């Protein structure tokens, strides 16, 4: 249920302890309300489309559907929602991935509680926020539209790649994505051709480098 007199927030992380900690910090502010929680990217998309929150605080690295792809899909459903990525990783690949997907903020998990509130307040003013522990010059790079060169995989291919590196079979991936195993095999082959990598270890290394997975959830 939306509270019309404050900032409505959804928390997305596969660790309940972390969500509880974020909720405790946020609810100390009378104008901020946690109106929903999700433990993975797909659940987050469903909740956001129903609740239409002002802000989503989302873990960047989650199993199943990572925060970058979830952000991209949430923005499609809820274009006015401001998304803040939450991560242990300060590498440019992760940061760029989130901002390219449409996020407005990026926080490190070891930041202090005041920074979470500052980030929420900042993105609600239509301004970008980058964790104070990350080089702020990177924000100006993002504004100029400079990017790290990359082979362009489609959103679906990125989903499939993440699930492949997590050890899922074509049949299991097909069930998750509502596609036939044969279609998943086509995606796998297309991915391998595009990036010219053909073994699971190579694909896993590539996915980690590109911020699609950390395999450390």
Per residue in 34-57, pLDDT (tens digit) is: 999 999 999 999 999 999 999 999
Give the pLDDT score at 217.
Answer: 45
Helices (H), 78-165: 92-101, 113-123, 137-143, 155-165
- Location of structure tokens 């991560």: 87
Cα–Cα nearest to 42, from 81, 74, 8, 3? 74
Pair of tokens at residue 111: 């930041």
How far is the CA of 212 from the CAs of 113, 134, 173, 187, in angstroms?
27, 20, 16, 16
Q: Residue 88's pLDDT is what?
A: 87
Judge whether residue 194 has pLDDT over 70.
Answer: yes
User: E-assigned strands of 68-200?
Assistant: 82-87, 105-108, 129-130
Per-residue pLDDT for 27 more than 90? yes
| Residue 44 φ then ψ, to 5° | -60, -45
Distance CA 127, CA 103 (A): 11
**Residue 142: which pLDDT band, with cuts at 50, 70 and 90?**
low
Q: What is the pTM of this model?
A: 0.71
Residue 135 pLDDT level (bands cut at 50, 70, 90): confident
Domains and their CATH numbers in the chain: 7-143 (3.40.50.2300), 155-209 (1.10.10.10)
| 104 in Cβ contact with 84 (< 8 Å) | yes
3-state SS, residue 115: helix
């Amino acid at each position: 249920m939306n509270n019309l007199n404050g900032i409505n927030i959804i928390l997305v992380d596969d660790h309940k302890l972390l969500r509880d900690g974020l909720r405790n910090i946020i609810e100390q502010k009378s104008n901020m309300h946690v109106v929903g929680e999700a433990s993975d990217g797909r659940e987050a998309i469903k909740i956001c489309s129903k609740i239409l929150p002002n802000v989503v605080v989302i873990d960047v690295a989650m199993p199943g559907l990572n925060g970058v792809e979830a952000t991209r899909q949430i923005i499609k459903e809820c274009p006015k929602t401001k998304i803040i990525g939450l991560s242990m990783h300060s590498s440019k690949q992760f940061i760029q991935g989130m901002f390219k997907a449409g996020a407005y903020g990026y926080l490190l998990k070891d930041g202090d509680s005041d920074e979470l509130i500052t980030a929420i307040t900042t993105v609600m003013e239509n301004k970008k926020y980058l964790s104070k522990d990350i080089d702020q010059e990177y924000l100006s790079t993002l504004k100029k539209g400079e990017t790290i060169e990359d082979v362009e995989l489609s959103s679906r291919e990125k989903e499939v790649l993440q699930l492949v590196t997590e050890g899922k079979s074509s049949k299991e991936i097909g069930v998750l994505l509502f596609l036939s195993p044969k279609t998943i095999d086509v995606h796998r082959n297309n991915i391998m051709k595009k990036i010219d990598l053909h073994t699971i270890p190579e694909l896993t290394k590539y996915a980690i480098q590109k911020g699609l997975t950390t395999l450390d959830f």
